[in-house]
A and B are shown apart, each in its own frame.
Chain A
Amino acid sequence: MISSNLSAVFYLISGILFILALRGLSSPDTSRQGNYFGIAGMTIAIIVTFLSIGNFSSSFLYVLILLILGGSIGAFIAFKIPMTAMPELVAGFHSLVGLAAVFVAIAAFLNPEVFNLGVSGNIKLASLIEMCIGAAVGAITFSGSIIAFLKLRGIMSGAPITFSGQHYLNLILGLGIFVMIFYLCKTQSENIFWTLIAVSFLIGILLIIPIGGADMPVVISMLNSYSGWAAAGIGFTLENTALIITGALVGSSGAILSYIMCKAMNRSFFSVILGGFGADNSHSDTNEKKDQKPVKSGNAEDAAFLMKNASSVIIVPGYGMAVAQAQHALREMVDKLKKNDIKVTYAIHPVAGRMPGHMNVLLAEANVPYDEVFELEDINNDFANSDVAFVIGANDVTNPVAKTDPKSPIFGMPVLDVEKCKSVLFVKRSLSPGYAGIDNELFYRDNTLMLFADAKKMTEDIVKNLD
């Protein structure tokens, strides 16, 4: 058994290692080392906890068995999961952190003696509040992530689910949480504690159901943030530095990602959270203007011809590429183009896909070197000097209406200037509008050639025609 002062020092060290783990992600070169720091930090925290408890009876054995059991499940998932399923995996993992926080809070509530929080029925006031916050945020994270998971997995429709009075209901339930915490502190009643958790589960569900598919990057980041705050709440209860530091890191990380995602959509955080984007602008006049405008459409042969005669091509991937799993075919196409001395780069919009960095991971999976992949601000000026823009599975993020029409719901959102290219190839299944429910003006431009097909099939056909 080691002294609590010594173990506190070790918890601090593991907290610092976690900071270094995040620091490593500032560049792909240092990122793998960063991940090892993270693993080291976790190992230290777990070993120190065992040593400070000093209980190596049969229950220690059970703990080890459960660790190995959970670990093997985790490892199995980590190796088996396809990269396209990363958003739902992350959502699923968030739900586990949330539920673990709830369980730890329950354990602390039922048996406060082992955590030095006072005795059952008379828990220290501060600890009780911290515990309740940890449990409530954890429960919201859990049920919210489950809904996000179901939506991303396609088990539940990605369409926003709204009903009248929804916001008021959320408001009342949210206030209810505070009232319950207040009464719990006064009465220490177990029933209030259980109700508190149940209501938090409900809030999590209600919070996520009105949010539509393309807003998922914000939702996942937000749940990431919540899982951090839940951990921090528990950290305060347990008076554990490692948990407090980690909770703060994860909480602010998720909050920053949410901010970046909202900024990239030019929407306020609250408008995303309040949800129902598609429903909000059903009266928008852009929808009604969908008369028969001429559209130029072509086939794989035309596309191959255009690209073969180009000297530079910029690829704009979007969620459609992920759905069609077209990244490997795309990479094959790019290889062929490069053999013909054509300069190829990739342009990624921050909200392309269903989670932050989604497209980058898919391209990395297809062995695209990361120094050919550029973010919006770094590449947007290059479109004017490029011959072909190849838009595959993206839509709203290329819509020039965001720059020209103040009435459009996406006005002000930063978009990729694909229309400045000499010609634009647009791989899409149909002319249907994207998530924002608005027509893309780009479809009807003279320099746009629509390629109506599944992204993967079309790309494969182009590859054949490039020979």
Chain B
Amino acid sequence: MEIDPFIFRLSIFILSIFVGYYVVWSVTPSLHTPLMSVTNAISSVIIVGAIIAALATTSEVGFSSSSIFGYLAIILAAVNIFGGFLVTQRMLQMYKKKKDKK
């Protein structure tokens, strides 16, 4: 009997939870704030769904009610992507080692 593709996605999902579990425990506590901002940025990969909703319309006009929600979601996700990665970068730039002991 063929396996439902859903099971494959579920497997990926559960394995990723385990990967996330081990990776996040190894994050140093002093970087927990950048961790939150970068996870926030990557979860905006939801923009993929928004782009599909906006562009993959069947009609030629391109402005169905569903595509409008897509466009709105694109703005929200874009704010997050740029804001999230840039603010993370800004924070990480500040973490420096002791240069020299005077």
Residues of A that sit less than 8 Å from B by CB: 11, 14-15, 18-19, 21-23, 25-29, 31-32, 34-35, 38-39, 41-42, 45-46, 49-50, 53, 55, 57-60, 62-63, 66-75, 77-79, 81, 83, 86, 89-90, 93-94, 96-97, 99-101, 103-104, 106-108, 110-111, 113-115, 126, 220-221, 224, 227-228, 230-232, 234-254, 256-257, 260, 338-339, 348, 350, 355-358, 360-361, 364-365, 367, 369-373, 375
Complex: A133 Cα to B14 Cα, angstroms:
17
- Residue among B17, B26, B54, B73 with the highest chain A CB neighbour number at 10 A: B73
With A59-B62, A113-B58, A244-B9: A106-B69 Cβ-Cβ less than 8 Å? yes
Cross-chain contact B78 with A242 (CB below 8 angstroms): no
A218 → chain B closest CB, angstroms = 13
Give the secondary structure class of A's interface: helix
- Checking B64, B78, B96 against A69 with a beta-carbon cut-off of 8 angstroms, the contacting residue is B78
A-B pairs, 9 with minimum CB distance:
A70-B78, A74-B83, A357-B32, A74-B82, A248-B16, A111-B66, A356-B32, A107-B53, A252-B20
B15-47, CB < 8 A from A: 16-17, 19-21, 23-47
- Cα distance A62–B55 when bound, in Å? 10
B57, closest chain A residue (CB): A114
Q: 9 A-B Cβ contacts within 8 A?
A: A38-B41, A49-B51, A53-B55, A93-B79, A99-B73, A244-B16, A253-B24, A357-B36, A364-B30
Q: Please report the total number of B residues contacting A with Cβ < 8 Å.
A: 84
Interchain CB contact under 8 A, A70 and B75: yes
B79 and A357: CB pair below 8 A? Answer: no
When the two chains form their complex, are residues B94 and A74 in contact, meaning their CB atoms are under 8 A apart?
no
Which of B40, B42, B55, B90 has the most chain A CB within a 10 Å cutoff? B42
CB-contact partner of A108 in B23, B49, B88, under 8 A: B49
Residues of B within 8 A of A72 (CB): 82
Other A-B contacts than A71-B79, A254-B39, 5 sampled, CB-CB below 8 A, are: A49-B52, A70-B78, A103-B69, A247-B43, A367-B94
Check A253 against B39 for contact (C-beta < 8 Å). yes
- Say how far A58's CB is from chain B's closest CB, in angstroms: 7
Pair B46/A97 contact, Cβ less than 8 Å: yes
Of B12, B37, B43, B58, the contact of A231 (CB 8 Å cutoff): B43
Check A248/B43 contact, CB under 8 A, given A104-B50, A364-B91.
Answer: no
User: Are A250 and B32 CB-contacts (below 8 A) given A104-B73, A256-B25, A370-B96?
Assistant: no
Expressed in whole angstroms, the Cα–Cα distance for A199 and B74 within the complex equals: 24
Q: From A141, which residue of chain B is reached at the shortest CB distance?
A: B43
Contact A240 to B48, CB < 8 A, known contacts A63-B55, A96-B79:
yes
List of B residues within 8 angstroms of A104 by Cβ: 46, 49-50, 53, 69-70, 73
- The contact string, 1 if C-beta is below 8 Å from chain A, for chain B 70-98, is 11111111111111111111111111111
Beta-carbon contact of B86 and A78 below 8 Å: yes
A112 shortest CB reach to chain B, Å: 9
A31 touches B52 (CB 8 A): no
Contact between chains at A28 and B23 (CB < 8 Å): no
Inter-chain contact A252/B79, CB cutoff 8 Å:
no
Nearest B residue to A58 by beta-carbon distance?
Answer: B62
What are the residues of chain A within 8 A of B95 when measuring CB–CB? Answer: 28, 31, 364, 370
- Considering the complex, give the chain B residue whose CB is closest to the CB of A238: B49
Q: Is the CB of B29 within 8 A of A357?
A: yes
